[in-house]
A and B are shown apart, each in its own frame.
Chain A
């Protein structure tokens, strides 16, 4: 527990001094707010929450992947992870400690999205649940990418296309039934389905997200053990 707390505190201090990561948590809700005020509220043809749900889904699917990958790749590049492992930090402690703060920051950002949006009580609850579950998945995916990368540059090169693919697949799926059929296994598709239609099957969405988390967790633990210390 003390390792988790130490890494959580470290991540909190580090993030506020790392503008490249901090900006991800500010820019998405800021854009959603500006577009909602300037476009959605003055245009009757556009639903009031359109930009909120769009930016929220992109944030949960893309923003957190790249920032979590960047932080972990930096730990590998600077060999900080090596010292943590030698100090006895286990994979789950590293992930919960480092990712935990991202999840908290992601949850706070989701609350900001919910405040900008025009949701009812139940909708807000569903929105926050699916956003937090999606954020957790993105953080673990980012951690897997970070662990696979030798340095920050490689992590960015790998995480950007992956984030774009998983982030934009739901948009493509809305135009293609074939893509929609296969995209159902992706957590980003489930986030998109719920935030755009709160009457959709919520349990099914959470189950798919849960399965995504399980697969990525196994991947992370295997890679951490293999790559964390041995080059």
Chain B
């Protein structure tokens, strides 16, 4: 179980997270939604111990080694090929190297296994970063904007993969500003605006609460109603 209790974070004099509290149950997909600059990445950085909070407490219910991470920056070794990038981490985690190829297959990059990272498209790099995050079959997966900037077909593939990981017992925490993605994928969501959680719960129920169900639940309408701000 991932928990954040009354988390506060300041950068300089500016408060970027204020009293952030939420719980993510095991084996669910939890979406943190909000526009750019809302504080989504800061929350992931705090949960993965890359940043210290100035107040409150948090835990992820899993050791660091049982955690998979995909950040906005991929951190790949650009002169090495896809397989070599994953093999480094397979060796570090002490898992067989054949898992690297299996992870590449899961993200549909098996044909690009021998391609250097610096010749890959953005979408391919993102899929490779995801392959690295799932390589060691972590219990908890943090995905920062996993489909940002991807074409619909690639994004759909990643959605299916995330759903599959959850079905196999992983807890997935993802950030997005794509409300459709959140409704489609997430069991629970929290809406984040200027560092504060303004609403959280089951996506369809949130939409019903705010009369934002027309033909389908519309989380974006809820966000605009609550904040007056449009998502990019």
Contact = CB atoms under 8 A, between A and B. Distances in A.
A82 B71 contact: yes
Contacts, number: 70
A17 interface: yes
A83 B91 contact: no
Interface in A4-58: 5-7, 9-10, 13-14, 17-18
Contacts of A174: none
A86 B69 contact: yes
Contacts of A13: 79-80, 84
Contacts of B89: 6, 83, 87
B84 A10 contact: yes
Given A10-B77, A13-B80, A88-B65, A79 B71 contact: yes
A2 B67 contact: no
Contacts of B49: 229
Interface residues of B, number: 28
Given A2-B94, A9-B91, A79 B73 contact: yes
Contact of A83 (B51, B79, B80, B132): B132
B75 A6 contact: no
Contacts of A14: 77, 79-80
B48 interface: yes
A228 to B, nearest CB: 10
Nearest to B93: A87
B80 A2 contact: no
Interface in B48-104: 48-52, 64-65, 67, 69, 71, 73-80, 84, 87-89, 91-94
A230 B71 contact: no
B75 A82 contact: yes
Contacts of B132: 83
A9 B78 CA distance: 15
Nearest 9 pairs between A and B by C-beta?
A6-B91, A79-B75, A17-B79, A79-B73, A80-B75, A83-B75, A10-B88, A3-B92, A6-B92
Nearest to B11: A231
Contacts of B75: 78-83
Contact of A6 (B50, B51, B88, B116): B88
B84 A88 contact: no
Interface string B163-178: 0000000000000000
A84 B48 CA distance: 13
A73 to B, nearest CB: 14
A9 B88 contact: yes
Interface string A90-124: 00000000000000000000000000000000000
A158 interface: no
Contacts of A230: 50-52
A2 to B, nearest CB: 5
21 contacts: A2-B92, A5-B91, A6-B91, A7-B88, A10-B84, A14-B77, A78-B73, A78-B78, A79-B71, A80-B75, A80-B76, A82-B71, A83-B69, A83-B89, A83-B132, A84-B92, A86-B64, A87-B93, A88-B64, A229-B49, A230-B50
A229 B87 CA distance: 22
Which of B65, B75, B87 has the largest count of A CB atoms less than 10 A from its CB?
B75
A89 interface: yes
A85 B47 CA distance: 15
Given A13-B80, A231-B51, A89 B92 contact: yes
